[in-house]
Structures are given as C-alpha cells and as structure tokens.
Homo-oligomer: A and B are copies of this chain.
Amino acid sequence: MQALTITATKAQLDSILEALEGASDHDALQAVSEQLRDHFRVDHLVYHWVSSSGDQYGCGSYPDAWVLHYIEQEYLRIDPVIQGCYRRFHPVDWKQLDWSSKAARAFQADAIAHGVGNQGYSVPLRGPNGQFALFTVSHNGDDDDWSEFTAANRRHLILIAHYFNHKALELHPERTPEAGQTLSPREVDAMTFLAMGYSRAQVAETLSISEHTLRVYIESARFKLGAVNTTHAVARALSRGLIVI
C-alpha cells in the first residue's frame, strides 16, 4: 500500500478539474477517475448515479466483479453508504454510518472481500427532481491515516464531486428533465392549495371563487401537465418545480 497523498496544490487541483471538464465520453471520464485515484493514491474512486426507477450508472475503479455482484444482489437497497448519504446533507466518512444491522454487516464483509476497502468518504449530490448521486473515495488503511487524508482533501473532494456530477450529467442529458410548459397563476394557486391538502371546496373558498370555476383550473392544469387525475397533476407540478410547498 502506498502512502496516501495528503495535499494537492492549487495547480494540481486546477489541472485535475480541467481534465474532468475536458472529458468527452464515458471512457474519458473513466480515465480521469483512474488518474484521480492514482493522484490521491487511494484504492478506489467512484461516481455512482442512482435513478428514481432503480437504474444505476457507475463510473470509477471498482472491480467489475464487485459492480456486477452489487447489481445482482440488489445491494442498492441495503448499502449503508447509499442509505446514509441519501438522508444526509453533507459528505460523510463511512465510519459515521450505521453498520449495525445484520444486512449491513454482511454487505460490509462482502465489500471488503471484493477489495473495496475498509475506509471511505462519500459526497452526496442532488438534482432538482430528487435525482441522487454519490462521489466516493475508498481505501484500505488504518483510521489515523484516513482521517488525515480526508481532513486534508475534503475541499478538493467536494469540488471534484461537483465537477464529476456536472460532467456525468452533460454526458447523459436524458437524466435532466425537460422544461415543460407553465401554469397560469390561478392554476398555480389551485395546485398549490391542493398540494397543501385542501379539498376542492376549501380551495374554492380560499381563492374566493366557485367550486365549478376551480374545477376548470384543475382540469386545465391536468390537461397541461398530461395528468390523469388531481393527485397526478399535483405530483407533476411539484416535481417539475411549477409549485412549491
């Protein structure tokens, strides 16, 4: 095991970020991730996108055997790194995660057996519609060295995570939702109050209009949003950012 790289100069960081920005496809991104791994002298460096439908996209240095095994075993659902980062705001050291459940410990043993490393640091990344990705560095080493490494490189890792995410999205624009059409002010009002749990009667009263009129707005919004019912329309309006509650 080589010593971890404890510091990176501004110039080094700049050149890494530039290489990242210049990547033009998945293979190039993969190559950059390997360069980054070598630069930091960690065992692994991975970007992992988890889509709403359970699809995954990974890029990095994990062994293929582990990746396939991970997908096959549906580890996505029990991986404490995913679970923990999914409900955290900030980057997290793997030691801070909850490894107490039986499934988590089994997963951990399996991961270490596949050479993933016993130490790790993961940066959660989020998109406007609940999109979620992780940027992770992992390593096999003792706690002190790892603490020193993460303390020294945290800022760089955050920034690299950002740029990695940026590039990965650029390469897969289908993950970025299209900007749909807008709703009229009254439609926005209607959708907003409905999303707040008001019944049609309550919304109509709140907006000082008849319930019949309100219904026209709801139907119109439903039509614009391609929704089959009110709940669907509210869900779409929310996830497209057309209303905020």
**Interchain CB contact under 8 A, A126 and B126:** yes
Question: How many copies of this chain does one complex carry?
Answer: 2
Contacts of A228 in B (CB 8 A): 197
With contacts A86-B128, A158-B159, A165-B89 known, is A235 near B229, CB below 8 A? no
Tell me if A199 is interfacial: C-beta within 8 Å of chain B: yes
Q: Which of B50, B166, B194, B197 contacts A90 (CB 8 A)?
A: B166
Whole-angstrom CA separation of A222 from B74 in the bound complex = 25
Binds B, one of A28-36, A108-116, A138-146, A237-245: A237-245
Binding site for B on A (CB under 8 A): 9-10, 17, 50, 52-54, 76-77, 83, 86-90, 124, 126-131, 155, 158-159, 162, 165-166, 169, 176-177, 179, 188, 194-197, 199, 227-232, 234-236, 238-241, 244-245
**Nearest Cβ in chain B — how far from A155, in angstroms?**
6
Cα of A231 to Cα of B241 in the assembled complex, Å: 16
Inter-chain contacts of A126 with B (CB < 8 A)? 126-128
Cross-interface CB contact of A166 among B89, B166, B188, B241, cutoff 8 Å:
B89
User: Are B179 and A87 interface neighbours, CB within 8 A?
Assistant: yes
B87 touches A232 (CB 8 A): no
CA A234 – CA B233 in complex, angstroms? 11
For the complex of A and B, 7 pairs with smallest distance between CB atoms = A197-B232, A52-B244, A195-B235, A87-B241, A126-B126, A130-B244, A197-B228
